[in-house]
Amino acid sequence: MIQGRELLAIVSFLDQVGTEAALRTQIGRLYYAVFLEVRTWCEAHLGYSRVRMAREHQALANLLSSIDPDLVDQMGVLRTSRNAADYDEYLSMAEILELRAVASELATVILDRLRLMDT
């Protein structure tokens, strides 16, 4: 079973590629790294059971909204970035680079927050 943090190695590897496709892929992998780590945290700490459907993204947000609304907001921005990278083929390179920077920062903040919530 893949752990979210394992996807971060792919993000680092893609830094070497530097193409538009690599940047867009990085954004998606950053989101899914966070999503998988958040889901695992919710399973371990809140008794969450996987839904295994697209609505799982919203189910996790609903579960966490009373515990850490800032985390939910940050995950929402990260998911929006992922959606833009995956579906908006007309983004400029500057916009893609900005989305990549935002996604990277948010992923770091969210994963750090999960570590703090573990203690």
Domain ranges of the chain: 4-118
**DSSP at 54:** T
Q: What is the pLDDT of residue 79?
A: 97
- What's the token pair of residue 92? 């400029």
Cα–Cα dist 99/11, whole Å: 14
Q: What is the pLDDT of residue 18?
A: 87
Fold of 4-118: Four Helix Bundle (Hemerythrin (Met), subunit A) (1.20.120)
For residue 106, the one-letter residue type is L
Q: What is the pLDDT of residue 119?
A: 73
CA 103, 73, 118: angle at the middle one, nearest 5?
Answer: 85
Cα–Cα dist 74/76, whole Å: 5
For residue 108, the one-letter residue type is T
The per-residue pLDDT string of the chain (119 residues; one tens digit each, 9 = 90 and over) reads: 678 888 999 999 999 998 999 999 999 999 999 999 999 999 999 999 998 788 999 999 999 999 999 999 999 999 999 999 999 999 999 999 999 999 999 999 999 999 998 87
Q: What is the pLDDT of residue 30?
A: 97
pTM of structure: 0.93
Cα–Cα dist 57/53, whole Å: 8
For residue 81, the one-letter residue type is S
Q: What is the pLDDT of residue 54?
A: 82
Cα–Cα dist 85/93, whole Å: 11
